[in-house]
Amino acid sequence: MKMAFSGLLALMLAVGWTPPPSVPQGVQVYFSPHGGATDAVVSALDHATNSVLVQAYSLTSAPIAKALVEAHRRGVQVHVILDASQRTEKYSEADFLQNSEIPTLIDAQHTIAHNKIIIVDDYLVLTGSFNFTKAAEEKNAENLLVISDPSLAKRYLGNWHAHEVHSQAYNREQKSETKRTKKILM
């Protein structure tokens, strides 16, 4: 019996048969640095047709911010929740998003709002350790999962909306005021 199996396996390999991939269909994984995670995020945003919800600790990636704006200009409903640190970050894209009329909220309810989630069209979830930053793509060891699963997306949507409830609208004045207050306190 073992001999027959070995022969069959040898024949299958000889004709170019390869075993199915170990990653289930509907899931893609990316690693950084230089593993294509930013391109995967931009591609998902470029293919969005109805909605994009973002929850991010940090958003400083110009290509991702531009893809969010392009999706918004195509009529996709884009909403963003960022960590409170983005009020004072020098390179945050929060101003760019707000100036592009994308509703941007700040989640200051938690010590750190450390989520890194994008939900596209209520079925696609992008998550992992990958921050939506240039450093995450070019310097850090990070991972990104792109998961096509409407029932999982529904759970992430519920979590996103729970954070939306306690978040506050981002505005530039808060950023300037916070910087001024820090200078006065120093």
Q: Which amino acid is present at 84?
A: A
Q: Indicate if 79 belongs to the active site.
A: no
Find the catalytic residue in 95, 121, 122, 149: 121
Distance of alpha carbon 94 from alpha carbon 80, whole angstroms? 9
Distance of alpha carbon 79 from alpha carbon 163, whole angstroms? 12
Find the catalytic residue in 79, 116, 163, 175: 116
Going along 66-186, which residue ranges are E strands? 77-83, 104-107, 116-120, 124-127, 142-148, 168-169
CB atoms within 10 A of CB 145: 17
Nearest alpha-carbon partner for 58 in 76, 80, 32, 41:
80
Q: Indicate if 121 belongs to the active site.
A: yes
Find the catalytic residue in 114, 134, 149, 154: 114
CB 97 within 8 A of CB 104: yes
Task: With H, G, I as helix, E, B as strand and everything else as coil, classify residue 45.
Answer: helix
Distance of alpha carbon 85 from alpha carbon 132, whole angstroms? 14
Q: Indicate if 46 belongs to the active site.
A: no
Active site residues: 114, 116, 121
